[in-house]
């Protein structure tokens, strides 16, 4: 199957093992959620695929091509990365910052295609009116959307997002997730998002990968991967998993919630 393949990836700091033999496959055109509590290895895995961190062991490939040994410029033509916080040069304008996404593809100056890719990404993220504003003048949420636009302008085959909606209000969280889902389906992009919201993952993502203690404990469509017993053990919280066909919703079992005595689905 074509797509992204992670095989037996190991990573740790001294005696602390962050990722322990992690392996997964994400097909082209699939929007995959990386889930788990803080410290489970979600962000570390995205940074390894982005080559910000180097694993102690394992392999990452896309369509059979070893991404960890590919020249950096060629890697950047395949993989784009949206960090968890705004790591952008704040004296650039929005247009200039998004144009940085074209760096792996550009020669000495932008082509018409480069400019079209930038304009398209800016428009898609609702930033057209801010194009000449400097990033230092933007809110944290606006700056985060600029980073997402920069990643889309890169026209990647693999899009990595490390908790990109954490600085966004609810409206822009939903819009951003809708945009990423559309990009995966329209352009066949493989997208991985480290995210905390289980219900957002269930609604927008095709695949859910649940990490705990640096290992994968569930992997599949959200309706199959979300098991109340497993989620409860991973998060240390009793939950209910409700299924309605292909749709699934996760809710905490609140004290006094009589329905929580007999949860639906997931073996809860």
Q: What pLDDT, in 10s, does the model give residues 101-143? A: 999 998 888 999 999 999 999 999 999 999 999 988 888 888 8
Residue 15 falls within a domain, yes or no?
Answer: yes
In whole angstroms, what is the distance from residue 6 CA to residue 4 CA? 7
Q: Are residues 178 and 251 in the same domain?
A: no
Q: Is residue 16 located within the same domain as residue 41?
A: yes
Q: Rounded CA gap, 111 and 123, in Å?
A: 18
37 and 81 both lie in a single domain:
yes
Ranges 59-73, 77-91, 162-176, 232-246, most confident? 59-73
**Could you read off the pLDDT of 5-54 as tens digits, one per residue?**
999 999 998 888 899 999 999 999 999 999 999 989 999 999 999 999 99
Note whether 178 and 268 are same-domain residues.
Answer: no
Q: What is the mean pLDDT of the chain?
A: 89
Together in a domain, 85 and 158: yes
Q: By residue range, what is the domain housing residue 216? A: 3-94+154-225
Answer yes or no: do 210 and 267 share one domain: no
**Total tally of structural domains belonging to the chain:** 2
Domain harbouring 177, CATH code: 3.40.50.300
- Asked whether residue 102 is assigned to any structural domain, the reply reads no
Give a yes or no: residue 57 inside a domain.
yes
> Which string of DSSP letters, residue by residue, matches 118-177?
HHHHHHHTT-GGGTTSBGGGS-HHHHHHHHHHHHHHT--SEEEEESTTTTS-HHHHHHHH
How far apart (Å, rounded) are the C-alpha atoms in residues 103 and 108? 10
Strand partners, 263: none
In a domain, 41, yes or no: yes
The answer to whether the pTM exceeds 0.75 is yes
Q: Which tens digit of pLDDT belongs to each residue from 240-261? A: 999 887 788 998 887 555 444 3
Ranges 69-73, 89-93, 133-137, 181-185: which has the least confidence: 89-93
Phi, psi of 161 (to 5 degrees): -130, 120
| Rounded CA separation 18/22 (Å) | 10
The Cα–Cα gap between 32 and 36 comes to 13
User: Can you read off the two tokens belonging to residue 173?
Assistant: 């969280």
């Amino acid at each position: 199957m074509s797509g992204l393949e992670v095989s037996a990836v190991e990573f740790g700091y001294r005696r602390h093992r962050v990722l322990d033999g992690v392996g997964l496959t994400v097909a082209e055109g699939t929007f995959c959620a990386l889930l788990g509590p803080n410290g489970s290895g979600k962000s570390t895995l995205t940074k390894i695929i982005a080559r910000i961190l180097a694993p102690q062991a394992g392999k990452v490939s896309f369509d059979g091509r070893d991404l960890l040994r590919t020249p950096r410029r060629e890697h950047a033509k395949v993989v784009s990365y949206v960090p968890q916080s705004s790591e952008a040069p704040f004296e650039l304008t929005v247009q200039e910052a998004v144009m940085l996404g074209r760096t792996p593809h550009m020669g000495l100056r932008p082509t018409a295609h480069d400019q079209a890719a930038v304009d398209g990404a800016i428009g898609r993220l609702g930033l057209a009116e801010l194009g000449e504003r400097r990033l230092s003048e933007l809110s944290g949420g606006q700056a985060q959307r600029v980073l997402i636009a920069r990643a889309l302008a890169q026209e990647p085959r693999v899009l990595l997002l490390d908790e990109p909606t954490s600085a966004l209000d609810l409206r822009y969280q939903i819009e951003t997730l809708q945009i990423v889902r559309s990009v995966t389906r329209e352009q066949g992009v493989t997208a991985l998002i480290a995210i905390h919201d289980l219900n957002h993952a269930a609604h927008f993502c095709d695949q859910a990968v649940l990490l705990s203690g640096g290992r994968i404990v569930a992997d599949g469509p959200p309706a199959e991967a979300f098991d109340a017993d497993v989620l409860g053990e991973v998060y240390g919280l009793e939950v209910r998993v409700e299924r309605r066909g292909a749709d699934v919703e996760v809710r905490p079992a609140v004290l006094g919630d009589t329905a929580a005595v007999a949860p639906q689905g997931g073996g809860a």
